[in-house]
A and B are shown apart, each in its own frame.
Chain A
Amino acid sequence: MGVGIEVRGLNAWYGKNQSLNSIDMTVPANHVTAVIGPSGCGKSTFVRCLNRMHETIPEARAEGSVKVGEMDVYGDGSDPVEVRRRIGMVFQKPNPFPTMSIFDNVAAGLKLNGFRNRKQLHELVERSLKLAALWDEVKDTLHKKSGASLSGGQQQRLCIARALAVEPEVLLMDEPASALDPISTSKIEELIFQLKQHYTVVIVTHNMQQAARVAELTGFFLMGSLIEYDKTEKIFTTPADKRTEDYVTGRFG
């Protein structure tokens, strides 16, 4: 089951440039929450702060409080590796491990963390590929083909399966469909809709129609600040803030 996310006073920097200003946001469990905004508004930085990926970039740092379920992400003694194991991430460009088979791609997160039970490993790989709606397309070539041999849309679903295999509680998706064609995109969107039964999903998107289609809640970011955060329908029909209205009606960005 998914868990909720509580963000309080989150600030982030790249070197001396502050890219997030005191973000407060509450993401409910087992919902899909979209993060929208123009390029460079900090929406990617925001989700990368949730699983401490932000700090892997040289000179990048973040401060504030992020609670994912019971876990204090930035608390004393919090281990970023453990945080990332419990908060899965899907990136903008499909990034399967090119030298690994399809099976090994999905199993990587478990195997490389010392998971040794082979029978259970097979079950988890199959379950994850089925959840990601990729099983039928790859079940005959699991060990024969490289992850890089799949099409772009299949690769992205493989990356989703890979993230699901480690059984996270939250799934972060950073523009997961922006490099895909419309058919692959609709498959991914359908998938996101299914996933929320088991996971809490936060999705960054450039595409406002996509946010409207998949998300119950939407947050609008502008220049590192969360301008407005509400039910998706409200954001797109009767936003409270003028800047949100300008953005969703296409007047800028």
Chain B
Amino acid sequence: MSNSVPPSTSQQVSLWRRLTDWGATGFAILAAILVLVPLLAIFIYLVIKGIGSINWAFLTQTPKPPGEVGGGMANGIVGTGLILCVASVIGVPLGIGSGIYLAEYGRNRFGDVIRFTADVLNGVPSIVIGITVYSLIVVRQKHFSAFSGGVALGIMMIPTVARATEEMLLMVPNMIREAAYGLGIPRWRTTLSITLRTASAGVITGCMLAFARVAGETAPLLFTAFGNQFWNLKLNQPTAALSLQVFTYAISPYDDWHKQAWAGALILILLIVGAVAAVRIVTARGRLKGA
């Protein structure tokens, strides 16, 4: 018996294969570039338009009265941080919790109902969520607040986090759970310390996606956090937010405010990228060789 590979019977076949290979690879590269183009275009345009207005005053001062030149968005940066903290405190635990239920316990009719509800909630326009929180919290408290803004964004985070957590947990092979049960580890412990831990990288990605998505939301904040020209660190007071300020400044008649709107948008994107990168770095630290 000969061990050599039989020679190609036709040069045509191999040429055709090579062409298909080039074609498919070329298409994949082209698609990847097309995905990058809008992202890069937006970012570069933002940098061009906004970088000129970013200075120390912009980062440390509150807005000047309308028409006056100067001032900054420091209160908006802090306000966005405050609102996102509230949103994450609400959205991440509730989202992960319901994701755990869906994956580990919800393989039934009730689970299907929750899954469907989460998908519908994901598709509800953000302004509708804003109005709902307005009528549930703002109207009762009789004033706008950072807290209500955080609640609105938190609600928007829940379905994304929940579905991502569910998908990631379902990807954990069943034999990992069996290994834990076989050691006499109770089911709740297995879910939290084994299954969720195994899926943690994906769950964190899901949380970051949800976070990044709501960080730039403007509509639900219009009648919850409302905006504020001054400093505020209290949860029960109206609060400035970068997205709100960008919106207000962009539709104003003042040139200086238009420039500041660009700068605010650039800062917002940088903050989101920074937060996502920071979480990535912190969570990657504990990773082991070969994990």
* A contact residues vs B (CB 8 Å cutoff): 51, 53, 56, 58, 81-86, 88-89, 91, 93, 95-101, 108-109, 112-113, 141, 144-146, 148-150, 159, 162-163, 166
Q: With the chains together, A51 CA to B290 CA distance in Å? A: 32
Give the one of A97, A145, A146, A148 with max B CB within 10 A.
A97
B175:A91 contact, CB within 8 angstroms: yes
User: Can you list 22 A-B contacts with CB-CB less than 8 angstroms, sorted by A residue number?
Assistant: A56-B178, A88-B182, A91-B179, A93-B175, A95-B173, A95-B175, A95-B176, A97-B176, A97-B197, A98-B176, A99-B200, A99-B288, A100-B197, A108-B180, A108-B185, A112-B180, A112-B183, A112-B190, A144-B289, A146-B289, A148-B290, A159-B179
User: How would residues 175 to 219 of chain B score, 1 for a CB under 8 Å from any chain A CB and 0 otherwise?
Assistant: 110111111111001100110011010000000000000000000
Number of interface residues of B (CB under 8 A): 24
* 6 cross-chain pairs, A with B, having the tightest CB-CB distances, nearest first: A149-B290, A85-B184, A109-B183, A146-B291, A89-B182, A146-B288
Partner of A113, one of B176, B184, B290: B184
- Please indicate the chain B residues that have their CB under 8 angstroms from the CB of A84 in the complex: 181-184
Extra contacts, 14 of them, besides A99-B197, A146-B291 (Cβ < 8 A), are A51-B182, A81-B185, A88-B182, A95-B173, A97-B180, A97-B198, A99-B288, A108-B194, A112-B190, A113-B185, A113-B189, A145-B290, A148-B290, A162-B179
- Please indicate the chain A residues that have their CB under 8 angstroms from the CB of B173 in the complex: 95
A166:B183 contact, CB within 8 angstroms: yes
- Please indicate the chain A residues that have their CB under 8 angstroms from the CB of B181 in the complex: 53, 56, 84
B184:A109 contact, CB within 8 angstroms: yes
- Please indicate the chain B residues that have their CB under 8 angstroms from the CB of A89 in the complex: 182
- Please indicate the chain B residues that have their CB under 8 angstroms from the CB of A88 in the complex: 182-183
Partner of B179, one of A81, A95, A144: A95
Q: Is the interface of B mostly helix, strand, loop or mixed?
A: helix
- Please indicate the chain B residues that have their CB under 8 angstroms from the CB of A113 in the complex: 184-185, 189
A149:B176 contact, CB within 8 angstroms: no
- Please indicate the chain B residues that have their CB under 8 angstroms from the CB of A150 in the complex: 290
B185:A109 contact, CB within 8 angstroms: yes
Shortest C-beta distance, B205 to chain A (Å), equals 15
User: How would residues 38 to 61 of chain B score, 1 for a CB under 8 Å from any chain A CB and 0 otherwise?
Assistant: 000000000000000000000000
Shortest C-beta distance, B223 to chain A (Å), equals 43
Q: With the chains together, A98 CA to B200 CA distance in Å? A: 11
Shortest C-beta distance, A173 to chain B (Å), equals 11
User: How would residues 269 to 291 of chain B score, 1 for a CB under 8 Å from any chain A CB and 0 otherwise?
Assistant: 00000000000000000001111
- Please indicate the chain B residues that have their CB under 8 angstroms from the CB of A82 in the complex: 184
B193:A112 contact, CB within 8 angstroms: yes
Q: With the chains together, A97 CA to B176 CA distance in Å? A: 6
Q: With the chains together, A6 CA to B288 CA distance in Å? A: 43
Partner of B182, one of A91, A96, A100, A148: A91
Residue of A nearest to B182 (CB): A89
- Please indicate the chain A residues that have their CB under 8 angstroms from the CB of B107 in the complex: 58
Shortest C-beta distance, A91 to chain B (Å), equals 6
Q: With the chains together, A149 CA to B193 CA distance in Å? A: 20
A53:B182 contact, CB within 8 angstroms: yes
Contact A149/B175 with A81-B186, A88-B182, A99-B198 known, Cβ cut-off 8 Å: no
- Please indicate the chain B residues that have their CB under 8 angstroms from the CB of A101 in the complex: 288
Shortest C-beta distance, A99 to chain B (Å), equals 5
Shortest C-beta distance, B264 to chain A (Å), equals 40
Contact A146/B290 with A84-B183, A98-B176, A113-B185 known, Cβ cut-off 8 Å: yes
- Please indicate the chain A residues that have their CB under 8 angstroms from the CB of B182 in the complex: 51, 53, 84, 88-89, 91, 163
B183:A108 contact, CB within 8 angstroms: yes
Shortest C-beta distance, A65 to chain B (Å), equals 21
A98:B198 contact, CB within 8 angstroms: yes
Give the one of A56, A89, A99, A144 with max B CB within 10 A.
A99
- Please indicate the chain A residues that have their CB under 8 angstroms from the CB of B183 in the complex: 84-85, 88, 108-109, 112, 162-163, 166
- Please indicate the chain A residues that have their CB under 8 angstroms from the CB of B290 in the complex: 145-146, 148-150
Q: With the chains together, A96 CA to B186 CA distance in Å? A: 18
Q: With the chains together, A58 CA to B289 CA distance in Å? A: 35
